[in-house]
Structure 1
């Protein structure tokens, strides 16, 4: 992951604009709260399909990021497979850096 994107993700975490965990992320996508979803490249096939399908259906950008350990490290937690950013401006900034 690009260091600047990791910093932005950490900022979003400190601002409480991040949701982690597969079930909570899928729920946030359904409720319209998620503005961007980050998915670890080493996520299981089932998790990847579920999250990508939900994001496609609800029109939420889904970006495949680095591995689960680096995603977790970016927000100061243990390994994380899915992360949803709920702030529009932060989501735009992170997506621009990762794509």
Structure 2
């Protein structure tokens, strides 16, 4: 998996876990639910295990596995750090 797909897959995973839905995550990410599902599946294939228990009892809700849930804080912190780094880079380019 190359870096852009990896980051996009992590973003799709994080949003899907937070919203418990591919559809709602897709709206946030401005892509289709199928694209979010494919990104998550790609990440699951790369990792070798599922990230979600998929419940289809009328609501199609996603429930992150215990292992997936345990890494979400680190993934969110990583995205926060990336955002701060990009903002700093942008600010430095304007002042430099």
Which interval holds the TM-score relative to the shorter structure? Answer: under 0.3
Higher helix share: 2
Q: Give the number of the structure whose residues are more often strand, by fraction.
A: 1
Task: Specify which structure has the bigger relative contact order, considering alpha-carbon pairs within 8 angstroms and separated by 6 or more residues.
Answer: 1
| TM-score normalised per structure 1 | 0.27
The alignment's TM-score, normalised by the length of structure 2, stands at: 0.28
Report the structure number with the largest CA radius of gyration. 2
